[in-house]
Amino acid sequence: MPAEFLLERDHILPATPDAVWHAVATAPGTRGWLYPMDVEPRVGGTVSRGPATVTAWNPPRTFACRYADHTGFSNTLSYDLKPHDTHTTTHLHMSIHWVHEGQPDDGWNTRADAATRYADFYHHSLHEYLAHFHGLPTAYIRADRPAPTPDATTQFTRILHAIGVPDTKGRGDHVVFAPEGMPPQDAVIDYRDTDFLGLRTTDGLYRFYNGASWNWPLWIGHHRYGPVDTATETDAWTAWLDKVTS
């Protein structure tokens, strides 16, 4: 039986439409809060994630892209931007629309739940990026475990303790972010729940993902600003994650 999933979110963002457009529709922008996503700037252009095809391109108002595969599944991501208030803030409407014209597999509901949770975390990161780091050079640092583990929740707690985040601290609290082998930094917990942790420092948004709810691997995806040796930092975080979770 055909299936459909629609996720919509509205945000008021602390930046002009031009700045928000740069954040959601360019590779340097998406590195700052989401993940690297190259976009060919025209209708019919290629988006590296998927890969998808640009279906709407009207800077700085409307951007959409669509991925489709041979099974009958398609995924359309859309952004609509409008000036808000005095034009120094922007109303962003985001939608993710999945359609499966055939028979979806058993993981459909799991992926839909994950998409909802991830989208909320990512769009929080978009707000943080625009409020604190927009205009700076961006780098994306990713490291992950190769497979899910039965004790993933315990491992996620171990990760949080290893970076200096105790169980008693929550959103808005300050901590000393001190992964072993890296310089300690003052940080604010800008996001925390059972599946995600976000820390904001003066040089980055540090993101930790617990895949236990969906039987996915643990991973980290950090957004760094300013001059960064991406390869060196990726190697360092991969070694750190392997050590903490081994």
Domains of the chain and CATH, by start: 3-132 (3.30.530.20), 138-245 (3.30.530.20)
Please give the backbone phi and psi of residue 203, each rounded to the nearest 5 degrees, phi first: -120, 5
d(CA 14, CA 34) in angstroms, rounded, equals: 17
Residue 1: pLDDT band by 50, 70, 90 thresholds? low
pLDDT of residue 246: 84
Structural contact between residues 43 and 24, judged by C-beta atoms closer than 8 angstroms: no
What digits encode the pLDDT tens for the residues 21-80? 999 999 999 999 999 999 999 999 999 999 999 999 999 999 999 999 999 999 999 999
Residue 213 is classified by DSSP as: G
User: Which whole-number Å values give the CA distances from 71 to 38, 49, 101, 105, in the listed order?
Assistant: 25, 18, 8, 10
Average pLDDT for residues 107-122, to the nearest whole number? 96
Give the pLDDT confidence of 137-158 residue by residue, as tens digits.
Answer: 999 999 999 888 788 889 999 9
Give start and end residues of each alpha helix (H) in the chain: 17-25, 27-31, 108-132, 152-162, 230-245
pTM for this one?
0.96
Percent of the chain with pLDDT over 70: 100
